[in-house]
Amino acid sequence: MSMQDYPVVSVRDLSKHYPLRSWWGGKDSVFRAVEGVSFDIRPGETLGLVGESGSGKSTIGRAVTMLNPPTSGTIAFEGTDLAKLSAGAMRKMRARIQTVFQDPYAALNPRMSAGDYVAEAFKLHRRDMRRPERREAVAALFQRVGLDPRFMGRYPHQFSGGQRQRICIARAIALKPSFIVADEPIAALDVSIQAQVVNLLQDLQDEMGLSYLFISHDLRMVRYLCHRVAVLWRGRIVELAEADALYEAPRHPYTRRLLAAVPVPHPAEERARLAARDIASHDQPPDGPLTEVAPGHWVALPQEQRA
Partner 1 sequence: MTKPLLDVRDLAVAFDTDGGAVHAVNGVSYTLHEGETLGIVGESGSGKSVHVLAMLGLIPRPPGRITGGQVLFEGRDLLALKEREIRKIRGGAIGFVFQDPMSSLNPGMTVAAQIVEPLRIHLGLDARAARARAKELLDLVRIPNAGARLDQYPHEFSGGQRQRVMIAIGLSCRPKLLIADEATTALDVTVQAEIVALVQELKRELGMAIIWITHDLGVVAGISDTVQVMYAGRILERGPVDDIFSDPRNAYTLGLLRSLPDLSGGRAGRRRLHQIEGAPPDMRHLPPGDPFAPRNAYATPRCRAEMPPLAQAPGAAPGHLVAAWYDLPDLLSREAAR
Partner 2 sequence: MSTGTPIAETAGIAAPTGSPGLIQEPGTVTAFWRRLRARPSAIAGLVIVGLLILMAVFAPWIAPYDPTATDWGNVRGSPSLAHPFGGDEVGRDVLSRIIFGARASLGAGLVSVALAVSLGLPLGLLAGYAGGWIDGAISRLTDALLAIPFLILAIALAAFLGPSLVNAMIAIGLSATSTFIRLTRAQVRAVAAEEFVEAARAMGNPPWRIAFVHILPNIVPAILVQATLTIAAAIIAEASLSFLGLGQQPPEPSWGAMLNTAKNFMDQAPWMAIWPGLSIFLAVLAFNLFGDGLRDALDPRQRA
Distance CA 298, CA 265 (A): 29
Amino acid making up residue 246? L
Least Å distance between CB 90 and partner 2? 8
Residues sharing a CB contact under 8 Å with residue 169, sequence separation 6 or more, in sequence order: 100, 145, 185, 197, 200, 201, 204
Q: How far apart are CA 81 and CA 118, in angstroms?
A: 28
Residue 146 makes contact with partner 2 by CB under 8 A: no
**Closer CB to partner 1, 97 or 168, in the complex:** 168
Q: CB of residue 275 vs partner 1: minimum separation in angstroms?
A: 9
Whole-angstrom CA distances from 99 to 40, 134, 214, 238 are 17, 21, 10, 25
140 binds partner 2 (CB under 8 A): no
Query: Bridge-partner residues for 30, per DSSP?
Result: 19
One-character DSSP codes across 19-77: EE--TTS-S-EEEEEEEEEEEEE-TT-EEEEE--TTSSHHHHHHHHTTSS--SEEEEEE
Residue 92 is a binding residue for partner 2 (CB under 8 A): yes
Residues binding partner 2: number (CB under 8 A): 40
| Segment contacting partner 2 by CB under 8 A, of 10-18, 99-107, 238-246, 297-305 | 99-107
Looking at residues 224 to 253 of the shown chain, list those that interact with partner 2 (rule: CB under 8 A).
none
CA–CA separation, 271 and 273 (whole Å): 5
Q: Is 113 in the site for partner 2 (CB under 8 A)?
A: yes
Q: Given the complex with partner 2, which of 48 and 162 has the nearer CB atom?
A: 162
- d(C-alpha 307, C-alpha 304), whole Å: 7
Kindly report the backbone phi and psi dihedral angles of residue 65, in degrees, each rounded to the nearest multiple of 5, phi listed first.
Answer: -90, 5
DSSP state, 195? H
**Looking at this protein, which amino acid is placed at residue 177?**
P
- Of 76-84, 93-101, 209-217, 238-246, which part binds partner 2 (CB under 8 A)? 93-101
Q: Which stretch binds partner 2 (CB under 8 A): 155-163, 203-211, 239-247, 267-275?
A: 155-163
In this complex, which beta carbon is closest to partner 1, that of residue 46 or of residue 178? 46
Residue 158 in the binding site for partner 2 (CB under 8 A): yes
Residue 220 Cβ vs partner 1, minimum distance, rounded to whole Å = 5
The conformation of residue 149, written as its DSSP 8-state character, comes to G
User: Which stretches of the chain bind partner 1, using CB under 8 A?
Assistant: 52-53, 160-163, 190-196, 198-199, 202, 217, 219-221, 223-225, 227, 243-244, 247, 257-258, 260-271, 273-274, 277, 279-280
Closest CA to 169 of 188, 141, 190: 141
Q: Which does 194 bind (CB under 5 to 8 A by kind): partner 2, partner 1, none?
A: partner 1
Cα 213 from Cα 197, distance rounded (Å): 15
Residue 25 in contact with partner 2, rule: CB under 8 A: no
Nearer to partner 1, 177 or 185 (CB): 185
Say which entry of partner 1, partner 2, none residue 157 contacts (CB below 5 to 8 A, set by partner kind): partner 2
Binding site for partner 2 (CB under 8 A): 65, 67, 88, 91-95, 98-99, 101, 103, 105-113, 120-121, 124-125, 148, 150-151, 153-161, 163, 168, 171
